[in-house]
Amino acid sequence: MRTTRALAALTLAAGLLLAGCGDDDAGVDAETANSRTDHNDADVAFASDMIQHHAQALAMVDLTVGRDLDPEVVQLAEAIRAAQAPEIETMTDWLSEWGEPIPATVNDHVNADDGDGDHDMEGMDQDDMGMDMPGMMSAGEMADLASASDAEFQEMFLSMMIEHHEGAIEMARDEQADGEYQPAISLAEQIESAQASEIELMRSVTS
């Protein structure tokens, strides 16, 4: 009888211990899940601003099409497109999930073509397009790039894109310092690393 009672008590204690461990695991899982979804104002600012920043980079890349450029520059332009277009989609999804507005970009406006083959960028609202952010080109600078001759274009493009990348790196570092949403922080790290490498490449082409 004593043995039976002892075994019963032991079984009960073990059950309680396992239940306690299960609660702990559930708490850890919940905490981990929260850490993946929690975000702050810095995350929202990063996604909103970088969407606009990337959009201008893609507008600059669009201007390389049909130009007589060095193969390295053509490859660089396509690499920028391949990386930044999906990143815009990712950050747009984040803002939608967070219930935040999707910012307007240069690609949402008629600046791409005014109907006669010229790029009309002078009429854009620079504040709305985020052109006050680090590394962003003014509407006038974008118009000058669009109208540049092939002989002038490559040097202008590389100089502007280096400055543009440097601005993106600054923004990415701000997100790493102040952000909370881990996927955004990870993306910021990727942006800093990739664009730093591209700056080195562009400087080697211009030297």
Which pTM does this prediction carry? Answer: 0.75
Instruction: Quote the CATH superfamily of domain 38-206.
Output: Ferritin, core subunit, four-helix bundle (1.20.1260.10)
* CA distance between the termini of the chain: 91
- State how far the Cα of 183 lies from the Cα of 185, in Å rounded to an integer: 5
* Each residue's pLDDT tens digit, 45-86: 999 999 999 999 999 999 999 999 999 999 999 999 999 999
The Cβ of residue 28 has, within 10 Å, a number of other Cβ atoms equal to: 10
Q: What are the structure tokens assigned to 196, written together?
A: 């730093």
Per-residue pLDDT for 95 more than 80?
yes
Per-residue pLDDT for 34 more than 90?
no
So where are the chain's domains?
1-37, 38-206
Residues 158, 11 contacting (CB under 8 angstroms): no
Give pLDDT, residue 106: 83
Closest CA to 145 of 165, 128, 122: 122
Alpha carbon separation from 73 to 58, 64, 77, 78, 155 (Å, rounded): 14, 9, 6, 9, 10
Residues 48, 98 contacting (CB under 8 angstroms): no
Q: Which range in 23-27, 102-106, 125-129 is most confidently predicted, on average pLDDT?
A: 102-106
* Each residue's pLDDT tens digit, 149-177: 989 999 999 999 999 999 999 999 999 99
Give pLDDT, residue 186: 98
Residue with tokens 């507008």: 59
Q: For the chain, what is the mean pLDDT?
A: 82
